[in-house]
A and B are shown apart, each in its own frame.
Chain A
Amino acid sequence: SYDLIQPPSVSVSPGQTANITCSGKNLEDKYCCWFQQKPGQSPVLVIYEDTQRPSGIPERFSGSNSGNTATLTISGTQAIDEADYYCQAWDSGFGGGTKLTVL
């Protein structure tokens, strides 16, 4: 079981906005990270400290964290964004992952 709860799947049309949620007790009191993992590849950090983007991550990726829910938002979703996404917060481990389908 996971302390951080994510929806198993999210679908979005190309060019639209995808929102992936991550719920956990008092999550706003912890920094949340988000990772993208494509098949056969290692995870890649796309958001850290709730809202920060590492260098090289496109601006269409953004994050927020309020109350018990952190959210990864992908604006103008592209086909290359199709992947599994995991949230993570220290002391809470990783969420179960969300498969993002772009169709």
Chain B
Amino acid sequence: EVQLVESGGGLIQAGGSLRLSCAASGFSVSSNYMSWVRQAPGQGLEWVSVFYPGGRTDYADSVKGRFTISRDISKNTLFLQLNNLRVEDTALYFCARDLTFDFWGRGTLVTVSS
């Protein structure tokens, strides 16, 4: 059974850093496109970043230079390093599989205070 479990969120002051994790089971993260998508409170979905199977990465303009996506194949886990956080980064962060986003985790909440 495919499962994605996010963790690492929390309350952080603006300018701070967090590392989010997405533990996958039932498939290999190394063989799939893996993305982070976020949703601010009461708002819509915003794509954040993607890790391609071959190792290429890409980012939304709003996070480029501040967030870094990575993966640990041995742990079958996807990560998102969030640096220089801003109040507008407050959101529920989901990880999702494949270019079709066919499976999603339940998300981990990041709250950035001023």
Contact = CB atoms under 8 A, between A and B. Distances in A.
Interface of A: 2, 33, 35, 37, 42-45, 48-49, 54, 84, 86, 88, 90, 93-97
Contacts of A54: 102
B99 A43 contact: no
23 contacts: A33-B100, A33-B101, A35-B45, A35-B101, A42-B94, A42-B107, A43-B104, A44-B104, A45-B100, A45-B101, A84-B44, A86-B44, A86-B45, A88-B45, A88-B47, A93-B46, A94-B37, A94-B44, A94-B45, A94-B46, A96-B44, A97-B44, A97-B45
B102 A93 contact: no
The prevalent SS among residues of A at the interface is strand
Interface of B: 37, 44-47, 60, 94, 99-102, 104-107
Contacts, number: 42
Contacts of A2: 44
A33 B106 CA distance: 20
Contact of A94 (B47, B100, B102): B47
A93 to B, nearest CB: 5
Nearest to A2: B44
B100 A42 contact: no
A36 to B, nearest CB: 11
Contacts of A35: 45, 101
A90 B52 CA distance: 13
Contacts of A44: 104
B99 A90 contact: yes
Nearest to A84: B44
B108 to A, nearest CB: 12
**The 10 A-B residue pairs with the shortest CB-CB distance in the complex, in nearest-first order:** A48-B100, A42-B104, A97-B44, A94-B45, A93-B47, A45-B102, A96-B44, A86-B45, A33-B100, A43-B104
